[in-house]
Structure 1
């Protein structure tokens, strides 16, 4: 189940134009071929990414910087015997500007080196049009197993999953479900798959069982999902949201989320000691025409920090730099975003978010206060020569005070994505 979209994403909630097709005649030439070839798809995604992060603390400064270029090539077949299909995605990243003494940006392999990896290689069994089995290397998008696609390539996973839908999601009611076993994960700038337990910090290999569902009916969404890793960790996540139309050009969405985490079996994490924690969050979004005001609050159990080993932090107060999920941490967020089309700038959107967090829990290392400002500017051209082009500029500043130590982080991200279909 996906979390509520951030405000900057909601500013572009309308369907994006299809990417440019380089060889449209191939589709016509394949019209009489078997479905395995006729319905196949191939596409390139070009990505250019510059990231500059400077951390200042009394003990000194740390500087991570790189400019990388690369992207992905994806191919998917049509169905064979109307039952089986498959696909692959190759990811790669090359240094354009990568000083060796500024390593650690996550855009390249360690040592500012290039990398290439077959991140997805999967097969699908189509039980019906609404139910399928997926096996192999694949990309999943759930709260605690997800792509975290904010570098050059996403996290992908190795395992097998059964998923499907009952009912019509457009008219409702409907129920979407998914469940299976995920054995290993490839990190964003890695070339090897590592077991789910080792990715979480354990020193033995265990996989993760997953099962969840999402019920939807009109503006209502209620869902839950569980992740169980033997001897390592169990995570249960639930979320509900409801939207209302408040009149001409006005709307609102209220969302609530909760996650519970605890160690399992031999307690391979936390030095062999059992642990347990949880986090609650709420979010309210008020929309007027193309502008959205967002406010959120989250709180973490004081006994232990929340763990996010396989995805980005799914909570509403997750920021560009800080996660605001330390033990006992209370966090608030307020943000404003808007499309700039009403002022004559079609394809442009901007947002600003402010976060503030505080905790006095001993498990967080002592009393702490922190805040962060995030600024975003996005451009997706609306004219025909450039469908599939997306440019994003982000700046974040955070400051943390704990045990008499003041630490600041400045981060700039400049990202260009361009997707082109081959046919």
Structure 2
């Protein structure tokens, strides 16, 4: 879809709805144009498989329109999300697998790509129903936003805050569109080549006290897996500028439907205890985050059981769709590795500093190190890996470039279970309010 088609579609949709809307719908509407300039480089420092290095540069635009609601007991509205990417630099041998930029029929990077997402919404009291394009950020499903354009999903979601201190959520996801793609797909897991079109989920966030939040989420990907998540988050305020946060997470994931039968196409990749690709995993983690002034120190541990790898939605094994790229609600989901292989135990630590404490607001930096061991793969056991990540961010606070953001991500990974890699991401972002 071209830029002109996106603009015309959004404009006519908004005009058509505005004939039936009132002042609240119009006055509460917001529109922003987000821009992201993104350079990505990943150096596979060993192994014979091509390519040895991925290197690309692109410009992304995101037009985000969010309407208000019509007046009355039941309010109605519509959101629209227009996404467009332009390739600034790529080439044969440096572009692979639609990691950031879609591929053409010759497997080269396209010059530009775009897509449009529309979402209808209905609100009554403190309950909202949304159907259409979604960008979820839930323990059982996190949309990936690690490249120039975000991954999106299609489906319905209902969120209710009718009860004090309790947020209820549920819904069904039916399709996904990858961060480097214009084609929507069905749903799958790493290794799965058959599509599912039914991901049902439900959950609750209960604020037990002002310092303690308890979470429970359920998810079922038809013919692949059923997952239960339990979480506890507690913040202890030691003083005005000093706190200790405790974050506990537990996932229980079991095979479902065709995956239980070992049916070809529904099998998960990587090591499984029975060797038949059946999902069987328990993953828990504990993290402590101590903050004082501008300093923040994180220390944690994660354990993955050895029945299979940790599993959530991942469309990367679906062929010819450019659907790769997924995120996980885990501290170990980092720039290069996720430390979620069967049997893997990972210790991790991070130091972050907010330079506002030194009178430089907008500047932040962090360094993180993770070390995993006892990994089981189809080629061996008791394997090890480590990763070191560095981040640097700055948002201009004043002047002509106010609110322009700059970021750098650098990661280095050595693994006995995967290729050693060096990765760099450099980006600049800016958002312009239109309404």
User: How many Å separate the matches in 2 of 1:100 and 1:140?
Assistant: 34
Which whole-Å deviations, capped at 9, do the CAs of 1:96-152 have from their partners, x for residues lacking one?
111221013722112221443435211101112x21110112221112322211111
For the 8 Å contact 2:154–2:175, the answer to whether it is kept is yes
CA drift at 1:362: 5.0
CA drift at 1:204: 4.1
2:369 corresponds to which residue? 354
User: How many Å separate the matches in 2 of 1:325 and 1:34?
Assistant: 50
**Alpha carbons of 1:132 and 1:340: their partners in 2 closer, same or farther (altered >3 Å)?**
same
Residue 425 of structure 2 is aligned to residue 408 of structure 1: no
SS of match in other structure, 1:107: coil
1:196 corresponds to which residue? 187
1:157 corresponds to which residue? 153
- The match for 1:46 among 35, 55, 79 is 35
Q: How high is the TM-score relative to the length of structure 1?
A: 0.85
2:227 corresponds to which residue? 235
Between stretches 329-338 and 354-363, larger displacement belongs to: 354-363
CA drift at 1:165: 1.1
User: How many Å separate the matches in 2 of 1:34 and 1:362?
Assistant: 60
SS of match in other structure, 1:101: coil
SS of match in other structure, 1:36: helix
Alignment of 1:22-421 (within 5 A): 34-59=23-48, 62-82=52-72, 83-104=75-96, 106-110=99-103, 111-128=108-125, 130-167=126-163, 174-197=165-188, 201-216=192-207, 217-267=209-259, 268=263, 269-270=266-267, 274-310=278-314, 311-361=326-376, 365-383=380-398, 385-402=400-417, 407-421=419-433
CA drift at 1:76: 2.1
Higher relative contact order (CA 8 A, sep 6+): 1
Give the unaligned 5+ runs of structure 1: 1-31, 169-173
Aligned residues: 383
For the 8 Å contact 2:42–2:54, the answer to whether it is kept is yes
For the 8 Å contact 1:53–1:412, the answer to whether it is kept is yes
User: How many Å separate the matches in 1 of 2:193 and 2:220?
Assistant: 14
For the 8 Å contact 1:120–1:139, the answer to whether it is kept is no
User: How many Å separate the matches in 2 of 1:202 and 1:127?
Assistant: 40
User: How many Å separate the matches in 2 of 1:291 and 1:364?
Assistant: 42
Give the unaligned 5+ runs of structure 2: 1-20, 269-275, 315-325
CA drift at 1:198: 7.4
For the 8 Å contact 1:297–1:317, the answer to whether it is kept is no
User: How many Å separate the matches in 2 of 1:237 and 1:364?
Assistant: 30
Which whole-Å deviations, capped at 9, do the CAs of 1:337-378 have from their partners, x for residues lacking one?
011123342210111111101125355743311111111110
SS of match in other structure, 1:35: helix
User: How many Å separate the matches in 2 of 1:160 and 1:236?
Assistant: 20
For the 8 Å contact 2:189–2:312, the answer to whether it is kept is no
Q: How high is the TM-score relative to the length of structure 2?
A: 0.83
User: How many Å separate the matches in 2 of 1:100 and 1:56?
Assistant: 19
Between stretches 336-345 and 211-220, larger displacement belongs to: 336-345
**Alpha carbons of 1:77 and 1:328: their partners in 2 closer, same or farther (altered >3 Å)?**
same
